[in-house]
Each structure stands twice: as structure tokens, then as C-alpha cells.
């Protein structure tokens, strides 16, 4: 995500423009005016129009892998499809990232908004493609309706089928094209079949609540922008002043993420997307209360962007026999674009999470008094906030100049102190 802007980010404007289409889709489905095939077609055409409008000619970078992966799903063997989908899609995304870096650093071009939106949507498309490929490999879905009919296993008759229209609609459906929590293909199929809402009041209340939170966070972001020191002062600040600069800039970044998460979820809810016909279990990436109150870096990492965290855990963490934590964060840096700040930030995050597990386990054994535990919780909360701010700035600033300014400031003392604390606690015998 680019740096904070006082005005609405273009992604938010495109998301807001898609609301009438989402509400219309939900209305038509609720009253039975759209059969299943037309629902797929409506979501797919809406996605194509939204992509063409928001990305311009760069939309071809999104359409090409979507079409290619659809062909792959219907030609490759289910035993190897997850590997082919992963390699081909990550190769395509990496080429796009390197092309953008070439234009930025070698040609000295400014990255346009349309290209930025395209790269962000391409990352989301990678999530959907690899998620569906793993579902096919694990036989959670069938490749076509013919396979389901021919299958002799009774349970296979209840599995969703990957028809061409269903796959393309899943990869490009407009409520989650520019953002939003990752929805599995099975959940997507469930939404299509259960689009006749059973509790409209709950859905309307959810949309109103998430939209209100979006405007609240966005307004707060605009107010803070006017009073808090912004990122460029990080190269000019002195000593402990840099800590204030780091914290305030990271706060602005978090508010930006929170506001976009709320808008993404509101768009999905307005289209009638939630798990189950009457379950009230919503698609969500946000648990803001936990993020702002936790004193554990490991819990923050698991809670931040929850659907992406679950995807990374399934794709990398559970399939790595050696150093699964480091491999997961290293892949996350690759998936985000391999900028210098991103590589350092995600590796640092992995080290801090590993240290966090050990520190809290040791403190749980050493500390007996409830008063000391409470005081320790406050101190570790502050340390968690500072380390997360340090990591966030490293990842968001990306380039070497800002990374050097961050490392040479007093801010680097916070992760250093955490490592020293780990070494000291490991020497204490319980």
C-alpha cells in the first residue's frame, strides 16, 4: 500500500462505486430473479468491468493468469495441480513485481495508481488460485460435473464442481477483486447457492456497522495526518524524537489498513456474502481490538489480516519440515514483492515471533506474583507496539534509503532489546 493520503484512496473510491452493483445483486438473488448460472455471470462481468475501469490496460496482467489457471485446473492431474498452480502463478507475479521495480528504480518512473491496484489485485488472485488448487489436490472439490457423476464414492456427490464459469467467476468476482478476505471456492459456491438471505435485518445492520467504522477510521486518519509527523521526517529526526515519528507513522498505516478492511467487508456483506444461510459467521480480516491490546507479537502476527495468515499457514507453514516459521515469513516477503525493506521486515518479524514464543513461555514460569504479571503485561504490550511499528515501517517504506534511516535511529533498540531479553531469560533457571 502506498503512503497515506488525506483524500480517499482510489481503491476506496472504486469499492464505493461498486456498492450499487453489490446491493442489486443481493436484491435479485434474495427474490429469486437470478438463477445460479446468471449469478456466476453477474459476478464475473462485474469483475471484468471493475478491473477494466480501475486498472485500465494493465487489467490484462490479471485476466491472463485467471484464464491460464482455469485451463490448468481442467487439464492438469489433481496429484500435481497444486505444484503447477503455485509455480506458474508465483512466476508470473514475480515477473510483474520485477518489471515494476525496473520501472521504478532503473527508469525512474513513478508508479501509477492503476498499476498499483493491478499488482495488489494480482496478489489476491494468487491467493485464490493456490487455494483452489490445494482444494482440488485434497479432493475437496471436483474438476467438473462429469467427474462428479462418474465418481463411485458417495461423498463425492456432495462436492462442488469446478466448471469453467464457476472458476472464472470465483477468481474475478467483483466484491473481492480489489480487496477483501480470502474466500475458499467451497465457501464461494455456498454463497452462490444460499444467496436468498434468511435474515436481511442482520445483513443490513452489518453493512451499516462496517461502513460506519470505515468512515470513522478514515476520518481519524485524516485528523491525525494533520497533527502527527509524517514519514519523511525520519531522515531528519534526532535521537528519541525518531521513536515518536516511527510510532505516529505506523499508527497512520494501521488506520489505513483498518479502514480498507472495513470497506472490503462492507462490500461483501452488501452483496449477501456470509458463511451459511443463517449462521451469521461473517467474512472478516479484522480483529482490531486484539491487534491494539495484545502483548504478544506472535498473537499479533496470527491476527493481522486473518484470511491471509490462514492461507500462508496452509500453503507454506504446514508443508515445511524445516524452519516452517522462517519459510512462511520469507515467502510472504516474496509474495509482497521482494523490496529490500520487505525482505528485512519479514525476516525481522519471523525472528521476533520466535523470540516472543520463548520469552512469554519463560516469563510464565518465572513470574509468580499477579502484580508482577500485570506490570510485565503492560511492559510487553508497549514493547510489542514498538516492535510492530518498527517492522511495519521497514515493510512499507521498502527502499534502502528509508531502511537505513530506520536502522540507524533509536528505533532499532526495541528489537535489539527483545533479543537481549531472550538471551538473559534463557540463562535464568526456574
Q: Give me the active site residues, please.
A: 305, 336
Q: Which residues contact 118 (CB under 8 A, 6 or more apart)?
A: 55, 58, 59, 61, 62
CA nearest 256: which of 1, 15, 13? Answer: 1
Taken in order 139, 144, 149, 151, the sign of the CA dihedral is negative
Residue 149: CB atoms within 10 Å: 11
| Closest listed residue to residue 54, CA positions, set 103, 98, 10 | 10
> Helical H runs in 2-80?
10-17, 19-30, 36-55, 60-73
Cell of 355: 523470540
Q: Which residues pair with 281 in a beta bridge?
A: 275
Q: What is the sign of the dihedral through the CA atoms of 279, 307, 172 and 210? A: positive
* CA neighbor of 287 nearest in space, from 314, 317, 313, 265: 265
Which are the contacts of 119, defined by CB distance < 8 A and separation ≥ 6? Answer: 96, 97, 100, 337
8 A C-beta contact, residue 203 and residue 279: no
Amino acid at each position: 500500500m502506498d503512503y497515506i493520503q488525506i483524500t480517499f484512496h482510489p481503491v476506496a473510491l472504486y469499492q464505493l462505486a461498486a456498492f450499487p452493483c453489490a446491493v442489486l445483486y443481493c436484491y435479485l438473488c434474495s427474490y429469486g430473479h437470478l438463477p445460479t448460472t446468471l449469478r456466476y455471470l453477474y459476478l464475473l462481468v462485474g469483475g471484468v468491468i471493475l478491473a477494466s475501469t480501475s486498472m485500465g490496460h494493465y487489467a490484462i496482467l490479471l485476466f491472463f493468469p485467471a484464464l491460464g489457471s482455469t485451463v490448468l485446473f481442467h487439464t492438469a492431474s489433481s496429484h500435481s495441480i497444486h505444484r503447477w498452480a503455485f509455480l506458474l502463478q508465483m512466476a508470473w507475479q514475480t515477473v510483474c513485481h520485477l518489471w515494476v521495480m525496473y520501472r521504478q528504480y532503473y527508469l525512474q518512473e513513478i508508479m501509477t495508481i492503476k498499476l498499483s491496484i493491478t499488482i495488489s489485485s494480482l496478489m489476491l488472485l494468487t491467493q485464490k488460485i493456490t487455494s483452489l488448487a490445494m482444494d482440488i489436490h485434497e479432493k475437496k472439490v471436483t474438476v467438473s460435473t462429469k467427474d462428479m457423476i462418474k465418481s463411485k464414492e458417495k461423498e463425492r456427490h456432495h462436492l462442488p464442481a469446478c466448471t469453467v464459469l464457476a472458476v472464472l467467476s470465483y477468481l474475478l468476482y467483483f466484491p473481492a477483486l480489489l480487496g477483501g478476505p480470502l474466500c475458499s471456492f467451497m465457501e464461494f459456491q455456498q454463497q452462490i447457492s444460499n444467496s436468498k438471505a434468511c435474515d436481511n435485518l442482520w445483513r443490513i445492520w452489518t453493512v451499516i456497522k462496517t461502513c460506519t467504522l470505515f468512515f470513522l477510521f478514515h476520518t481519524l486518519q485524516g485528523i491525525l495526518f494533520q497533527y502527527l509527523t509524517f514519514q519523511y521526517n525520519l531522515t531528519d529526526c534526532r535521537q528519541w524524537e525518531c521513536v515518536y515519528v516511527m510510532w505516529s507513522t505506523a499508527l497512520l498505516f494501521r488506520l489505513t489498513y483498518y479502514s480498507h478492511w472495513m470497506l472490503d467487508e462492507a462490500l461483501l456483506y452488501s452483496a449477501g456474502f456470509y458463511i451459511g444461510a443463517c449462521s451469521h459467521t461473517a467474512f472478516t480480516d479484522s480483529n482490531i481490538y486484539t491487534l491494539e491490546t495484545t502483548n504478544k507479537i506472535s498473537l499479533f502476527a496470527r491476527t493481522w489480516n486473518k484470511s491471509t495468515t490462514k492461507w500462508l499457514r496452509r500453503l507454506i507453514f504446514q508443508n515445511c519440515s524445516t524452519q516452517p516459521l522462517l519459510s512462511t515469513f520469507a515467502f510472504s516477503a516474496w509474495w509482497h514483492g521482494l523490496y529490500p525493506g520487505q525482505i528485512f521486515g519479514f525476516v525481522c518479524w519471523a525472528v521476533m515471533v520466535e523470540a516472543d514464543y520463548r520469552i512469554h513461555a519463560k516469563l510464565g514460569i518465572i513470574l509468580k506474583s499477579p502484580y508482577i504479571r500485570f506490570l510485565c503485561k503492560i511492559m510487553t504490550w508497549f514493547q510489542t507496539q514498538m516492535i510492530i511499528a518498527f517492522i511495519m515501517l521497514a515493510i512499507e517504506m521498502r527502499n534502502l534509503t528509508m531502511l537505513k534511516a530506520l536502522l540507524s535511529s533509536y528505533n532499532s533498540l526495541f528489537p535489539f532489546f527483545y533479543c537481549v531479553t531472550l538471551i538473559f531469560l534463557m540463562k535464568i533457571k526456574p
